[in-house]
Amino acid sequence: MIYRVCFVCTGNICRSPMAEAVFRARIEEAGLDGTVEVDSAGTGGWHEGDGADPRTVSVLESNGYDSHHAARQFQVSWFSRLDLVIALDTGHLKALRRLAPTTEDAEKVRLLRSYDPAADDDLDVPDPYYGGMDGFEECLELVEAASPGLLAAVREQVEGPAA
């Protein structure tokens, strides 16, 4: 059985493709690439079909990550095939939970930074779109910091609790 994770931000060109690329690398490193599928989408469709923001691509590539991407809009029908929907900020969390057709589907939606034990009370990954490269670098740092905790949670779902 395949476990499916989808990262969601606003337009699917900055934060969610970055999180998708980082988490896909963690999944491959963990040897789970045949068991876990990772993708991303946006709450809106403004950029549908576009590649990731060039600044996202630059930060990913300079840190050794794959950056192939085409933006998509999240569809309500996806809830039925997804196991985990990872929101990049509280606005996305609320929007996705409102879209969820069932309570069970709403419970699949989690904030990425909730998997970072060092995160403070603000669990949002700030949108770097209107800023400079430093915002994209901060976004990568926050995504990378949450990835080990998310990987542990996904591994537990796929393999069961550690002995």
Euclidean distance between CA atoms 119 and 6, whole angstroms: 21
Q: Which residues are catalytic?
A: 9, 15, 127
Euclidean distance between CA atoms 108 and 142, whole angstroms: 21
Contacts 24+ apart (CB under 8 A), 51-54: 51/13, 52/13, 52/14, 52/17, 52/18, 53/13, 53/14, 53/129, 53/136
User: 5 pairs with which residues across the strands?
Assistant: 38, 84
Among 48, 106, 111, CA closest to 79: 106
Euclidean distance between CA atoms 57 and 69, whole angstroms: 9
φ, ψ of residue 9 to 5 degrees: the values are -125, -155
